[in-house]
Amino acid sequence: MNRKDQGTAISTSRRKVVLGAGAAVAAAMTVPLLSSEEAANASTTNQPTGSLASYRRASGKIVTKDGTEIFYKDWGAGQPIVFSHGWPLSADDWDAQMMFFLAKGYRVIAHDRRGHGRSTQTNDGNDMEHYAADLAALTEALDLHNAIHIGHSTGGGEVVAYVARHGLARTAKIVLISAVPPIMVKNGANPDGTPIEVFDGFRKALLENRSQFYLDVPSGPFYGFNRTGAKVSEGTIRNWWRQGMMGGAKAQYDCIQAFSETDFTSDLKKITLPALVLHGDDDQVVPYKDSAVRSAKFLQNATLKIYPGLPHGMLTTHHEVINEDILKFIKS
């Protein structure tokens, strides 16, 4: 064998080794990280039943009346749990909850808000009225009844607006996590709110360098990674950045006004359903005393739980605790 043939043989051999190792890693990654009982539940609930026509896609899009495409994930069977994400993220922010409740035998649905994630990068309609109407269109398209609606941050406002204005008959319970209602911005009716200058700063940072801004937020206040002794997760920071950069800059810019200036007081008062309000007392984004405490008073049937030392993004950093508390509430 000449030197050229030897080199070709070695190169081919290396490729085979690399491909073989890659296949082994891929095979290992398919092993479910669930207990045997949970894996059985998840496997069973995802199987098609009845005719092929009755089989639901695991993900897809609906088109709203104004032509906006809303991306959603829809996994499992059983009582539906619908998740509404925070700004400027996507349905992917609910991974820890989707997998947990899927394994418990629930049907789990999460969508990308208009202008966010894989949904249409909208120029207009980036307000709570449209967010609530989009969620109503999704629940109708998927024919959801007796649903549990769970919202984080901006998504908490979306849930409140949807249930009060469209969804009382289709909803069983709601859960608000680090949510923005009743209203964030400081004004005459909300003297303890967050000054408008803070939200102007958000808008300025987004316009100047959205990519850097979307690194600074998760690296600092969102997950409490700026606190002394915090266990910083680079993967969590990068996942936040990834989700944010998937969405449209215009829609995310508009959404700052939607989550900060919308007054949900009248919506909260209309909701008679059981509600669980969860918030960390070290939330540096949505201060709990001006949000969770007040929302629980306006809701007619609320349970309030404040977690000492937990941050705004506690659904990610402390998902084991949050998931178990939500499960207890759903089963109660």
Q: Rounded mean pLDDT of the chain? A: 88
Looking at 57-61, 113-117, 165-169, 272-276, which range is the least confident one? 57-61
Signed CA dihedral, 242, 245, 251, 254: sign only = positive
Which one is catalytic: 84, 283, 290, 295?
283
- Which contacts of 55-63 are long-range, i.e. CB under 8 A and separated by 24 or more positions? 56/142, 61/118, 61/119, 62/137, 62/138, 62/141
Dihedral sign, Cα of residue 219, residue 89, residue 108, residue 25 = negative
- Residue 312 a catalytic site member: yes
Domains annotated on the chain, with CATH: 56-331 (3.40.50.1820)
pLDDT of residue 56: 61
Instruction: Look at residue 23 and tell me whether its pLDDT is greater than 90.
Output: no
Amino acid sitting at position 55: Y
Model pTM?
0.84
Which amino acid, residue 224?
Answer: G
Token pair for 241: 């950045």
- pLDDT at position 20 over 70: no
Residue position matching structure tokens 């290992």: 28
Q: What is the pLDDT of residue 173?
A: 98
Q: How far apart are CA 22 and CA 84, in angstroms?
A: 36
Residue 292: per-residue pLDDT: 98
Catalytic residue among 116, 130, 149, 312: 312
- Which has the closest alpha carbon to 231: 165, 317, 146? 317
pLDDT at 58: 86
Catalytic annotation, pick one of 84, 90, 153, 178? 153
Q: Sheet harboring 107-111: ordered strands across?
A: 59-63, 69-75, 107-111, 80-84, 147-152, 171-177, 275-280, 302-307
User: Has residue 35 got a pLDDT over 80?
Assistant: no
CA distance 186 to 261: 9
What per-residue confidence (pLDDT) applies to 53?
33
Distance of alpha carbon 190 from alpha carbon 70, whole angstroms:
33
Distance CA 74, CA 42 (A): 13
Bridge partners (DSSP) listed for residue 278: 177, 305
Residue range 149-164, pLDDT digits in tens: 999 999 999 999 999 9
Is 112 annotated in the active site? no
The yes-or-no verdict on residue 45 having pLDDT over 70 is: no
Cα–Cα–Cα angle for 262, 224, 180, rounded to 5 degrees: 15
pLDDT of 235 over the 80 cut: yes
Per-residue pLDDT band for 59 (boundaries 50, 70, 90) equals: confident
- In the prediction, which pLDDT does 25 show? 40
